[in-house]
Amino acid sequence: MYFASNLLVHFNRPAVVLSPLNFKTMRLKNKVAVITGGNSGIGFGIAKEFFMEGAVGSIVGRAQETLDSSVKQLGNNFIAIQADVTSLEDLERVFKETFEKFGKIDIVVANAGGAATGAKLGSVAEIGESDYDKTMDLNLKSVYFTIHKALPYMNDGGSVVMIGSNAAHIGLPALSLYGGAKAALIAWARGFSLDLLERKIRFNVVSPAAIDTPVFEKFVEPGQVEAVKNQLVQGIPAGRIGQPRDIANAVVFLGSDESSFMLGTEILVDGGSVNLQPFR
């Protein structure tokens, strides 16, 4: 059994309020960010690292309970906005509210995605129009319109980071539709970077492999979680499951000025599972 990238999204429990890093080390100081799906899993891992690096902004999600518990850990630096990324009206509101609160937007992290509610996974012989639409609306259409709605509010010289998946590169059972959506993001990073050259807005992709979150407990039979994780490790040359912070570190880099010479590219944060294929 194999899970890919941000299909593994977890709901965080309340924890202590975080403390930012030393002022001089903050790579995202004075940056305003919008992180979709920022209330849980990979997205909240990104939000925590952004906070530690000096960013402010908004986290976006559908579940009010996890939004509330997550934003408490980020103090006054972030606001929580309840929204459905498949709704264009909601996306418009997200960027309008963020801009009104902070006066600008520098970074957009299009993280929301994964298993769409009510959509089954399966082969091309099994997935019909309804399941197709739900999966593609969440993993592809929502990313396009997240960016489309963000652009009028973004600063020139800003950065957009899309969260992809190693499923864009590896054929995985029942995940061809999901993998196709994530592969499109790689093409978009190139095309959108060309589209926005005059504004110097950069587009890049971070593509994870399996990420260790409590959502395993939702998809795996009780008592089998550790066995599934151990099986996943067999396909990861690094010898471990990824952690949300692994992805967050790459996203911080792409959101910062340190990556100003990078545009239209993909960073694989997958423990070598794609590029070291003979290991698998």
**Which residues are identified as catalytic?**
178
Q: Helix 41-52 to helix 244-255 angle, to the nearest 10 degrees?
A: 50
* Pair of tokens at residue 22: 């030393």
* SS3 of residue 5 by DSSP: helix
Task: Considering only the C-alpha atoms of the chain, give the largest distance between any 2 of them, rounded to a whole number of Å.
Answer: 55
CA distances from 212 to 27, 32, 216 (A): 26, 28, 8
Radius of gyration of the chain (CA): 18
Residues 6+ apart with CB under 8 A from 221: none
Neighbours of 193 (CB within 10 A): 19
The conformational region for residue 249 under phi > 0 = left, psi -120 to 50 = alpha, else beta, is: alpha
